[in-house]
Amino acid sequence: MKRALTTQNLFDIKHDVFELEGIWKKAMGEPERHGSWMIWGREKNGKTWFALLLAQMLSGILKVHYISAEEGTGKAFVDSLRRARINPFNEQIQWQRYESIETLYVRLKKRGAPKIVVIDNITVYTKELNNGKYEKLLKDFPDVLFIFLAHEEKGEPYTASAKLVKKLSKLIFYVEGLTVSVSGRVEGCKLTIDEERAALIYGQKTMNAI
């Protein structure tokens, strides 16, 4: 039996958090570098766009592995990278078309493996992440942050796996008409994606996301 902790014990624990800046910090605070986040919303409303901006920002802190499982890595996806002004010389982001969760396990066990994984879109992984497999993924890689994208259907994330991810995620980003509502274990706020400048707007303040 493990010893119970006192309040002071809890206060003394040092948490591994992202030290963000600017609008990102205002929107997200200091989130921990593990667990799961979710980006969800209806199709063609800017989910991937926001995910790319988020991945670009986080790659300045940790290596990011972005799995474009639904769209692949063809011309349409490359065009999205250009519109989001992703830095072509940024080697801290790896791009991958669909790969199985089994293959992802192998990748994450390697030396120098990425510590952030973006899965776009969880719909493709319905069978691979059901029946406790999502929770097992988080348990097996306790120092990795997983960011899942999901479609919306009838006001909820599409598929049972997506609903569970939303329930357990520490940060949730709902994207609608290029407006991002941030919720979860934070105060909550709204950001707007500026298409022309590939930037985010918080209130009257604009921040380049590149």
* DSSP 8-state assignment for residue 18: -
Q: What is the pTM of this model?
A: 0.91
pLDDT in tens, 152-200: 999 999 999 999 999 999 999 999 988 999 998 777 788 888 766 556 7
Strands (E), 4-53: 35-41
pLDDT in tens, 19-78: 999 889 888 999 999 999 999 999 988 899 999 999 999 999 999 999 999 999 999 999
* DSSP 8-state assignment for residue 32: B
CA distance 185 to 43: 25
Q: Which fold has domain 23-208?
A: Rossmann fold (3.40.50)
Per-domain boundaries in the chain? 23-208
Q: What is the pLDDT of residue 23?
A: 85
Joined tokens for residue 179: 């407006």
CA distance 139 to 94: 23
Question: Is the separation of the CB atoms in 33 and 17 below 8 Å?
Answer: yes
CA distance 117 to 128: 16
